Chain A
């Protein structure tokens, strides 16, 4: 992904003392942070791998496992939670599309239409990042209460017969997807804004001048130029959405019928204390995301993400 996004200067045979000294400075700056990430990011992934093959010894207590090579853990979780996995990726994909449908016009509005009004533009941007400043759990609870059966939104919809009288919104797939989309709109909009803000409007004029209609111009000029924003926005939405378990949990917008991979991992790890299953599920999620993301990034042709 990020490989190739760096440039190499000329490499030659002459290595001066100065450049050796510089390389020492570089490592002095890098080392603390890199060691930290090795210890608390990479090693934990390795711990997950070890844990995912653990087995319960005979007559074990709950949560007691020993190192082994029990690959059956993977088979078991895939059998038990295949549905949850499918649900996670479906929900995340739909939520990402919704967030894009809301975020792109919003970012375009702020980045292009508000360009002549810097003050309004700044204020609109503040509104986009405002959700970051208030607990996302409380925002999700707020939606739950707003969308509750006795709330005015559902009441109005029922009064106008948009919803049948016995229908619910909370606890369904719809409310979970709605919640996911809502939560990640700022993550979608900000990278889009960064790309769109830089969009040279003269290029759009040039395209119009060269006989392209607005639709063609959007497809052939605007979209390709803002593609980096689209790619990073969709990734920043899809990845956390696929692993989320707050929206889908029964206390928030979901029910037992809407459990996602995140819920499975959480309950296996923190409630059932079935660490091997939680670990193998985590690795399956991570592997699936890596494959999807690599394919996506490769296909969209942008490798300059970091």
Chain B
């Protein structure tokens, strides 16, 4: 099987297609009818909280779990019923899973040797050179630091030139500084080898900086998929709006809609937003705006058709963080609002009465949902225990 598909390995990655894939464990559904297509050579990130089903999705693709329903296609070929060792897919495990009884070189050459490649050792050295660890080739994994082990795990997977490389939170165990550095290296290696990368993470910053396309997963489903900026600027669900960065959200009712503008009643106020930026045009709606889009002023700004205005409110907290200051503003009748201001002027002190305004073009409309579901514990073990 492996030899037969040798051509697949030589290529620069292949398309991955999931068709209606589901995985049901006794008592709960980990992956719920997911369909997606990842084009060859792209860097795709699956982002979500722990227990959202992203790791299970990865294990389904690698063959370590069998799907309950659906099909998996790589390069257009159905591989749903093949075993992991028959798939041209490799994984960089979260805990690295380096074989402790083998040297670094033996680890990296393992997959090549299983496929009976003649120049296994030579290729393994090349892969180690790629991650700048060839001088460690004869050491055992326990003699390496966490960051080095991570790079060996990457080399061990990349050396096989798989059609698809799966990364299961590969940077999760590293400290912040090393993680940022590895993110850059990983991205560089991806563009150098040109493989298709599928990266699973719960770190939204990591997903946005590294991936071409991000899919946000929640409770076994994909909530939204797109380029990082697109997801951030125009979230389609409450989950995406709150999980990917912060949002100020106002629940209301649509009171009027034209072709270009939707008017929403939020308490006694009316907010307007562009129709093309709203997922719904009638009934219950949640209007949102990102904290950095809001301007904070002591005086009431002049009314303008194109700007949304809220106030007056009272600053309850101002936390300085270098480039910006985060304000919490209590507005009567609304929940506490979060505002990020660049530190280019004076800092407003707590207790000050302020007005908040923003360009209505930045507002977005999403379906109104029951609140607080994001806070509920969605970890796999808890779900399993509840199922019991």
Contact = CB atoms under 8 A, between A and B. Distances in A.
Query: Are A and B in contact, CB atoms below 8 Å, in the complex?
Result: yes
Interface of A: 9-16, 18
21 contacts: A9-B384, A10-B27, A10-B28, A10-B384, A10-B385, A10-B387, A10-B388, A11-B26, A11-B27, A12-B26, A12-B387, A12-B388, A13-B26, A13-B27, A14-B24, A14-B26, A14-B27, A15-B26, A16-B66, A16-B68, A18-B66
Contacts of A10: 25-28, 384-385, 387-388
Contacts, number: 27
Interface in B35-69: 66, 68
Give the dominant DSSP class at B's interface.
mixed
Interface string B1-36: 000000000000000000000001111100000000
Contact of A12 (B25, B66, B68): B25
A14 B25 contact: yes
Interface size class of B (residues with CB under 8 A): 10 to 19
Contact of B27 (A12, A16, A18): A12
B142 to A, nearest CB: 16
A9 B232 CA distance: 39
B380 to A, nearest CB: 10
Given A14-B25, A18-B66, 9 more contacts: A10-B25, A10-B27, A10-B385, A10-B388, A11-B388, A13-B26, A13-B27, A14-B27, A16-B68
Contacts of B384: 9-10
Contacts of B25: 10, 12, 14
A13 B387 CA distance: 10
Q: In this complex, which of A9, A10, A14 has the most chain B Cβ atoms within 10 angstroms of its Cβ?
A: A10
A34 B27 CA distance: 31
Contacts of B24: 14
Interface of B: 24-28, 66, 68, 384-385, 387-388
Closest 8 CB pairs of A and B: A12-B26, A12-B27, A10-B384, A14-B26, A10-B27, A10-B388, A10-B387, A10-B26
Grouping DSSP codes into helix (H, G, I), strand (E, B) and loop, the A interface class, with mixed when no group exceeds half, is: loop
A18 B81 CA distance: 13
Nearest to B29: A14
Contacts of A18: 66
Nearest to A12: B26
A156 B230 CA distance: 94
A14 B66 CA distance: 14
A145 B227 CA distance: 87
Contacts of B385: 10
A14 B26 CA distance: 5
Contacts of B28: 10
A14 B29 CA distance: 11
Nearest to A9: B384
Contacts of A14: 24-27
A10 to B, nearest CB: 4
A20 to B, nearest CB: 12
A12 B384 CA distance: 9
A13 B29 CA distance: 12
A272 B28 CA distance: 66
A270 to B, nearest CB: 49
B387 to A, nearest CB: 5
B139 to A, nearest CB: 21
B388 to A, nearest CB: 5
Most buried by B among A9, A13, A14: A14
A14 B69 CA distance: 13
A12 B24 CA distance: 11
Interface centre among B26, B66, B68 (most CB of A within 10 A): B26
A172 to B, nearest CB: 55
Nearest to A15: B26
Contacts of B27: 10-14
A12, A15, A16 interface centre (most CB from chain B within 10 Å): A12
A149 B209 CA distance: 86
A38 B7 CA distance: 55
Contacts of A13: 26-27
Nearest to A14: B26
Nearest to B385: A10
A179 to B, nearest CB: 44
A13 B388 CA distance: 10
A16 B385 CA distance: 19
Contacts of A15: 26
Nearest to A19: B26
Nearest to B388: A10
A80 B100 CA distance: 61
A12 B388 CA distance: 7
Contacts of B66: 16, 18
Contacts of B387: 10, 12
A14 B24 CA distance: 8
A9 B26 CA distance: 10
A14 B25 CA distance: 7
Contacts of B26: 10-15
Nearest to A13: B26
B365 to A, nearest CB: 39
A10 B384 CA distance: 6
A18 B385 CA distance: 21
A11 B68 CA distance: 17
A18 B83 CA distance: 13
Nearest to A10: B384
B27 to A, nearest CB: 4
